[in-house]
Amino acid sequence: MINYPNKKKSNNVKLTSSANRGMNFETMINQTNEFYLDNDIAVIYKKPIPIQIVSVDYRVRSAARITEAYYKLPSTTDYNGIYKGSYIDFEAKETKSKTSFPMKNIHEHQIIHLNHVKKHGAISFIIVYFVSLGRIFLLDSDYVNDFYKRSQDDRKSISLEEFVEFGHEIKEGYRKPVDYLAIIDEYYLKTPQK
Amino acid sequence: MINYPNKKKSNNVKLTSSANRGMNFETMINQTNEFYLDNDIAVIYKKPIPIQIVSVDYRVRSAARITEAYYKLPSTTDYNGIYKGSYIDFEAKETKSKTSFPMKNIHEHQIIHLNHVKKHGAISFIIVYFVSLGRIFLLDSDYVNDFYKRSQDDRKSISLEEFVEFGHEIKEGYRKPVDYLAIIDEYYLKTPQK
């Protein structure tokens, strides 16, 4: 609440968020990806959550029951796939902050992964949802990397203004809640989306 | 043990397999991918196994313990990533058969997925390890699709001879147990691998 310079505007800002307000961000991305898949636009999936399985009960053979398991730290980002021949790779995060996105929300190895795939020709980025503002930004992994480096000995977050300046705002829609491929078309592939 | 027609030959056949003999096929692929990653050749990962989590114990906050979960059917293939700007997508399977690979070992939705990504520009294929023969083949998803269609009302498997004729045999190596990118270079990208 401390870094919140525009509190008076919050009611107005909320009104700008769409019908997707309240929907889980992951669900919004997944619905978008389903739309892309169903309409043969792109094939992009969320990876399953990595789990370390310790113990499984096979007594009911039709449905082996995992009885002890633990979450593992992901080695990569959550989403990848293909669009118009390009390998797409990104991490999606949300923040309740109205002013900035804390760098600690992204693991270092995820930033390294984004850099790796970019080096090999991928389109890689993060998508950040400012829940309280109803605003979603795509930020290229090169900038993510720069801001990560800065966070080592300076500011530990990316400000909303920096997303506005260096990122691209994604419009929310009904059937494509987070239509990030419109950004890819406009700024990466320079071709209008079908 | 019931469907094991060539038990007497097993000792001889085992001798033909390489130093990786006994290593789990998934481990062989993962080691290869690690080699590719460590040497900055490609970024290709195995996706985590999809799990439906039902119940989690949060009493020890440092390590939430999953106490009830079930395996889910994967929607996609196990492996994907990027190599020389190309999106790579494949499924890896092993068979104990010395003569053919049963189509039932691949789910229909995985074949559909391979077709989908191919349509959008991916290099997609399956890798099949004939464990008893110590031979590994890469087979393009177009052929996989053809053989899948055939299996609907005819032969339910892909014969070893068909892998020899339509696929590419992958050489086993020490640091790259399943060097499938050598095949991609030679037959897909037409450039020698570094």
User: What is the value of pTM for the model shown?
Assistant: 0.85
Q: How far is B53 from chain A (nearest CA, A)?
A: 9
Q: Show the tokens assigned to A189.
A: 């592939």
In a domain, B67, yes or no: no
Domain membership flag for residue B3: no
Structural domain boundaries enclosing B178: 8-48+75-189
Q: Is the residue at A144 inside a domain?
A: yes
On whether residue A7 sits in a domain, the answer given is no
B69 part of a folded domain: no
> Which of B48, B72, B84 has the CB atom closest to A47's CB atom?
B48
Confidence of residue A174 (pLDDT cuts 50, 70, 90): confident
Q: Do A48 and B43 touch (CB under 8 A)?
A: no
Size of interface A-B (CB pairs under 8 A): 106
CA dihedral for B116, B119, B121, B122, sign (positive or negative): positive
Has residue A87 been placed in a domain? yes
Residue B113 domain-assigned (yes or no): yes
> Distance from B101 to chain A by nearest Cα, in Å?
24
Q: Tell me the per-residue pLDDT of A65-120, one tens digit each, with 9 for 90 and over.
A: 999 999 998 889 999 999 999 999 999 999 999 999 999 999 999 999 999 999 99
Q: Assign residue A23 the CATH number of its domain.
A: 3.40.1350.10
Inside any domain, residue A99? yes
Which chain B residues have a beta carbon less than 8 Å from that of A48? 47-51, 72, 74
Contact between B33 and B83 under an 8 Å Cβ cutoff? The reply is no
**Into how many domains does chain B fold?**
1
On the 0-12 / 13-18 / 19+ scale of CB atoms within 10 A, A4 is exposed
The encoded tokens of residue A148 equal: 């990560």
The partner residue sitting opposite A116, judged by closest CB among B43, B50, B63, is B43
Q: What distance in Å separates the CA atoms of residue B192 and residue B187, rounded to the nearest whole number?
A: 10
Pairing of strands A123-130, A86-95: parallel
Which amino acid is it at B54?
A: V
Cβ-defined contact of B70 to A68 (cutoff 8 Å) = no
Could you tell me which of B92, B90, B49 has the C-alpha nearest to residue B71?
A: B49
pLDDT the model gives residue A166: 98
